[in-house]
Amino acid sequence: MSDHFALQLREHSHWFAALSASQQQQLLTHARLVQLGAGQRLFNRGDEFDGIYVLLSGALLIAGVHSSGREALLTIVEAGDWIGEIALFDRKARTHDATASVACQLLQLNNSALQQLVQQDPLWWQRFGQLLTEKMRLVFQALEDMSLLPASVRLARRLLMLCRLHQQDERYLIPVQQEQLGQLLSLSRQTINQLLQQLVANGVIRTSYGEIEVLDPKLLKQAAEMPLN
């Protein structure tokens, strides 16, 4: 596998960067490249386990559909994020849908490759377990932020994260809908709209249908800071 992919992963994946050079090479030797077009599904809830993935570029939407038919966007997978490791441990079906919001490049370690790795070195189970614990820490941090941070700060922090995904020629164009932001932050569409309009009025962003352009990242960073009491 290309050294280019190794450089990308060392830059964006803390977990991968913490592995030894030989361990990194082991993973890349067993990996295969997967490319998705915008709107293409990587896997569906209920699908059988087919390996774990790491996103090299683009963005993946992780969502679930309620029995009422309403879709709930849970998170947006960013470059360097690994997905699919839950089913690696419990061998159960996929828990959610994963769909490319823009063109994506991923690396996949399929089931046979993973079994070969852990048979050669059982300590790989511990390393893959670290992927789960990293994700759990992020979940707990998100729950804490939801309880303690004002909605305006949470929105600004999410927009900063999305900026990193969608920078194009010194411009930050984020292809996200207000309803999706509301689902990510557990806020109503009306609240999201009000908060976005405040940022527009302050010259931080510009909004259009299905897209947000960040005009002043420095001001957005200031909005993402916890206000002092």
Per-residue pLDDT reduced to its tens digit, 17-33: 999 999 999 999 999 99
Structure-model confidence comparison of residues 54 and 171, the more confident one = 54
Instruction: Please give the pLDDT value at position 228.
Output: 47
Contact by Cβ (8 Å): 88, 128: yes
Closest CA to 178 of 169, 167, 165, 187: 187
Is the pLDDT score of 168 beyond 70? no
Closest CA to 13 of 76, 73, 78, 64: 78
With pLDDT > 90 as the criterion, what percentage of the chain qualifies? Answer: 53
Distances (CA, A) of 56 to 11, 68, 106, 138, 229: 10, 34, 5, 20, 40
Residue with tokens 């994963």: 98
153-173: average pLDDT: 78
What is d(CA 188, CA 83) in angstroms, rounded to the nearest whole number?
A: 28
What is d(CA 25, CA 206) in angstroms, rounded to the nearest whole number?
A: 43
User: Which residues are CB-neighbours of 210 under 8 A, at least 6 positions away?
Assistant: 175, 176, 177
Distances (CA, A) of 48 to 15, 95, 181: 25, 10, 29
Q: Tokens standing for 212?
A: 């947000």
What is d(CA 179, CA 203) in angstroms, rounded to the nearest whole number?
A: 22
Q: Where in the chain is the domain with CATH 1.10.10.10?
A: 150-223
Q: Where in the chain is the domain with CATH 2.60.120.10?
A: 3-145
Instruction: Please give the pLDDT value at position 66.
Output: 64
105-109: average pLDDT: 96
User: Which stretch of 5-14, 121-130, 159-168, 203-212 has the lowest confidence by average pLDDT?
Assistant: 159-168
| CATH code matching the domain that covers 3-145, chosen among 1.10.760.10, 3.40.50.2300, 3.20.20.80, 2.60.120.10 | 2.60.120.10
Is the pLDDT score of 200 beyond 50? yes
Instruction: Please give the pLDDT value at position 190.
Output: 93
72-82: average pLDDT: 87
| Domain 150-223 CATH assignment equals 1.10.10.10 | yes
Instruction: Please give the pLDDT value at position 197.
Output: 95
What is d(CA 138, CA 198) in angstroms, rounded to the nearest whole number?
A: 28
51-76: average pLDDT: 84
Is the pLDDT score of 70 beyond 80? no
User: Which residues are CB-neighbours of 76 under 8 A, at least 6 positions away?
Assistant: 59, 60, 61, 62, 101, 161, 162, 165, 184
Mean pLDDT for the chain overall: 88
Per-residue pLDDT band at 67 (split at 50, 70, 90): low
Is the pLDDT score of 204 beyond 50? yes
168-184: average pLDDT: 80
pTM: 0.79
Other C-beta atoms closer than 10 Å to the C-beta of 134 total 16
What is d(CA 165, CA 58) in angstroms, rounded to the nearest whole number?
A: 7
Instruction: Please give the pLDDT value at position 169.
Output: 57
Closest CA to 53 of 131, 137, 120: 131
Dihedral, CA of residue 103, residue 109, residue 110 and residue 111, to nearest 10: -150
Is the pLDDT score of 160 beyond 90? no
Instruction: Please give the pLDDT value at position 166.
Output: 58
Instruction: Please give the pLDDT value at position 184.
Output: 87
